[in-house]
A and B are shown apart, each in its own frame.
Chain A
Amino acid sequence: MNSIRKSATAFALLALTAGGAWAAKSDVTIGLQLEPPHLDPTSAAAGAIDQVLYSNVFEGLTRFGPDGSVGPGLAESWEISADGTTYTFNLRPDVKFHDGTDLEATDVVFSLDRARAEDSQNAQKALFSGIKSVEANGPTTVVVTLNAPQGNFLFNMAWGDAVIVAPESIDDIKGNPVGTGAFRFSEWKRGDSITIVRNADYWGAAPALEQATFKFISEPTAAFSAMMAGDIDAFYSYPAPENLVQFEADPRFTVLAGNTEGETILAINNKMEPFGDVRVRKAVSMAIDRQAIIDGAMFGYGTPIGTHFAPHHPDYVDLTGNAPHDPEAAKALLAEAGYPDGFETTLKLPPPSYARRGGEIIAAQLREIGIETEISNLEWAQWLEQVFRGYDYGLTIVSHTEPMDIGIYARPTYYFQYDNPAFQALINDLSVENDPATRSAMLMEAQKTISEDYVNGFLFQLALTSVVDARLDGIWPDAPTQAVDLTGVSWTE
């Protein structure tokens, strides 16, 4: 009798602790490849800062949804004046910063003024260049006046570089970020991990997770073993596509394959001979077999593109037909341009695998039409120096990860040096256009122009592949911006 009671108690205890353990899973460990250099999203380009902090710790007036749409953030609503130059934002009344102070209109004024100041270190200062003035009108109303109507202003305000910061936290923001988000910053073990915890005073719906840890693992093999050993629950943007088949076959994991805003291009130095001739650029584009690059370099992940625009965007036009893979036609074009025997040029490759692996394949494809490339592998710092600022290159491969960045083709000094006044005028008109239908038509026009000018070799839209514990729900498959938004993530069992 005694022993029966004992075992019954033991059983009850076991059930209790087991139940407890089951209910207690409210933390998550996310693997990331790169560690943020510091924690101020408004003064560096590093995507890793936004991956950890965007929407989790910091919020802007507007915010990106999982599909890239722009919705209300700290501003619950807004009115746009008839001429399109004045935006009146109504802030949510009950928002507190993590240090306990209330969010007020003056904080928004401070944040936007800081970003557009003369000595601003904002990596995307152009987002704020159209602003004429920012004024507080009472505690929860902010009036932004623009120099001219700006069609994508609400979109610009959703960027991680446009989040609202607490004025009194600025001095320490790089090590101790104070935001308004659903999670507050807790600890940074430099070189190892960053931990954020649930914010009990959050204005919106409380997140399911109590705690999240971002662990930084750059080595692909280490990422694989950490995932397999159960050290991490999800690896966002998994670095070794060659392992994905194995993860797909394993019921413990789910592989998420989504889109990014990264147009991967074979950039051409338009001012370097012989690339000034559009026939040569067209020949380069036609020498490229996009699918072979996607299969060979990206293990099949990626969508072919024919212009500098994301395929999942509603205004995307499929222009891959402008440069079908046709080596014979490409050779004929080269001959017509005066290079029947081809020519030699440089192909400078930055570190990511899409560039290094893709570069080898592209070099082979170009050789087929007589173009010999001298490949050099560069670090990012060297690439910025030689290619980006020095224009010292013939060809290079880069993924442009900023959303909606077709406007870079209107900057004649941008590294590929495309100088087309008609295109510049088009982008200018676009920036002041507010009518959605007209904007749509103009965006399509812009895509066609650069595609038909063969400015660059348009390769593919970079895919995002993440490996996630099968029981974890709510990780965004796509990356409309560099963010690992955890507000909707939960465990399913």
Chain B
Amino acid sequence: MLRYTVKRLGSLLASLVVASLVIFACIEVVPGDPASFMLGINAQPDTVAALREELGLNRAPHERYIAWVGGLVTGDFGTSYTYRSPVSEIVVERLAISLPLAIYALSLTILVAFPVGILAATRRGSLTDISVMATTQLGVAIPNFWFALLMVLVFAVNLRWFSAGGFPGWDAGIPAAVKALTLPAIALALPQASILARVMRSSLLDTLSEDYIRTARAKGLTGRQALRKHALRNALIPVLTIIGLQFSFLLAGAIIIENVFFLPGLGRLVFQAISQRDLIVVESVVMILVFAVIIVNFLVDLAYAWVDPRLRSRT
């Protein structure tokens, strides 16, 4: 297990270095100057020059790359061009929404998908199975921003149970904050739960038809016992992969849902930063997301090995 962990850590580091180079190079070729953007169309050229100088935009690209990576290593993510405050501070503020929202949505996903998937798999071909398949098909097909708008119309505009959006902050109390994240979490979870339930079902069906299940049943285990002791654990590998992907997606890919509910999350931060050419924010946030994805994948890799001991020796 140790050798396996060290190997995984090595590839993790290599991925990070490559990612930092790619991100920096991509951002370098994006046209547009942050200083001109901030000063608008009436600014005098010398004012723009003064601002460029202060932001350090006149330095050579390799100098800026080294300064940036050097900062990242020491935990200094730089100062935002537009907001003029430390990127780390801004990102932490946004993560205080994006991270709980992702966890909330993923929990809902798992809470719904597991029982539904298992139910459908164990009653293959039944009416339950068919309706689960139909509903999840619909869940995947419905665009989640549309579903979000529908929920806003019903629960915020008509019933007034929820606000139409916004986030009161964690200092307004945990119930208020959780309430504000509920509709967005449901909107995010709908397609994810549908996908995960389908994966759970098909993966479980695969394992249920394996020889060792038949053997287990032959030894005298009931269907339920065989499912719990043998089938579930083996069916988890593809499910874990999907959960890992889903978590990364929920953390960074909630831009549209964040816009519908005007939540100040990480996705909206990146979106705004790109249009304002706040390149340092874009670089650093993308790097943090890459880091998060790599860490999640690393954890998923470890979880594979935990679920399936054969993987530890194979690599």
A-side residues, CB < 8 A to B, are 35, 37-38, 44-46, 118-126, 174-175, 189-193, 215-219, 221-222, 225-226, 228-231, 351, 379-382, 384-386, 388-389, 398, 400, 402, 405, 408, 415
Contact = CB atoms under 8 A, between A and B. Distances in A.
Contacts of B46: 118, 125
Most A CB within 10 A of own CB, among B36, B40, B152, B261: B40
B37 A380 contact: yes
Given A121-B54, A175-B85, A218-B259, A381 B277 contact: yes
Interface in B13-69: 31-34, 36-44, 46-47, 50-51, 54
A146 B82 CA distance: 33
A405 B38 CA distance: 19
Given A45-B38, A222-B165, A381-B31, A190 B90 contact: yes
B306 interface: no
A225 B153 contact: yes
B47 A215 contact: no
Contacts of A385: 31-33, 36
A192 B268 CA distance: 11
Nearest to A390: B31
A381 B38 contact: no
Contacts of A225: 149, 152-153, 156-157, 164-165
Contacts of B275: 351, 379-381
A191 B264 contact: yes
Contacts of A123: 38-40, 42-43, 47
Given A190-B93, A191-B269, A226-B164, 8 more contacts: A123-B47, A125-B46, A174-B84, A189-B264, A231-B156, A379-B32, A381-B275, A385-B31
B252 to A, nearest CB: 16
B107 interface: no
A386 B163 CA distance: 42
Most B CB within 10 A of own CB, among A218, A221, A415: A221
B143 interface: no
Contacts of A384: 32-33, 36-37, 41
B212 interface: no
Given A45-B40, A122-B47, A405-B42, A230 B90 contact: no
B50 A120 contact: yes
B114 interface: no
A-B pairs with the 4 shortest C-beta distances? A191-B264, A45-B40, A381-B32, A225-B164
B50 A216 contact: no
B83 A125 contact: no
Contacts of A222: 152, 164-165, 259-262
Contacts of A191: 93-94, 263-265, 268-269
B255 to A, nearest CB: 11
B85 A219 contact: no
Contact of B264 (A118, A121, A192, A382): A192
Interface residues of B, number: 50
B151 to A, nearest CB: 10
A400 B41 CA distance: 9
B54 A193 contact: no
Contacts of A189: 167, 169, 264
B233 interface: no
Nearest to A402: B42
B166 A231 contact: yes
Most A CB within 10 A of own CB, among B38, B54, B167, B265: B38
A104 to B, nearest CB: 27
Contacts of B202: none
Interface in B231-279: 259-265, 268-269, 272, 275-277
B44 A126 contact: yes
B267 to A, nearest CB: 11
B93 A120 contact: no
B230 interface: no
B83 A38 contact: yes
B38 A229 contact: no
Contacts of B214: none
B42 A45 contact: yes
Contacts of B152: 222, 225, 229
Interface string B169-210: 100000000000000000000000000000000000000000
Contacts of A125: 43-44, 46-47
13 contacts: A119-B50, A119-B54, A122-B47, A123-B39, A190-B93, A218-B262, A222-B165, A222-B260, A226-B163, A231-B156, A380-B275, A405-B42, A408-B42
A381 B40 CA distance: 10
Contact of B36 (A221, A388, A405, A408): A388
Contact of A382 (B31, B39, B42): B31
Contact of B31 (A217, A386, A400, A415): A386
A229 B160 contact: yes
A401 to B, nearest CB: 9
Given A216-B262, A226-B262, A228-B164, A388 B32 contact: no
A226 B260 contact: no
Given A38-B82, A381-B276, A381-B277, A226 B166 contact: yes
Contacts of B269: 191
A120 B84 CA distance: 16
Interface string B90-111: 1001100000000000000000
Contacts of B44: 125-126
A229 B163 contact: yes
Contacts of B156: 225, 228-229, 231
B184 to A, nearest CB: 12
B160 to A, nearest CB: 6
B173 to A, nearest CB: 15
Most A CB within 10 A of own CB, among B32, B85, B156, B167: B32
A219 B264 contact: no
Contacts of A219: 259-260, 262
Contacts of A226: 163-166, 262
B259 A45 contact: no
A221 B85 contact: no
A175 B83 CA distance: 9
Given A126-B44, A225-B152, A37 B31 contact: no
Nearest to B161: A229
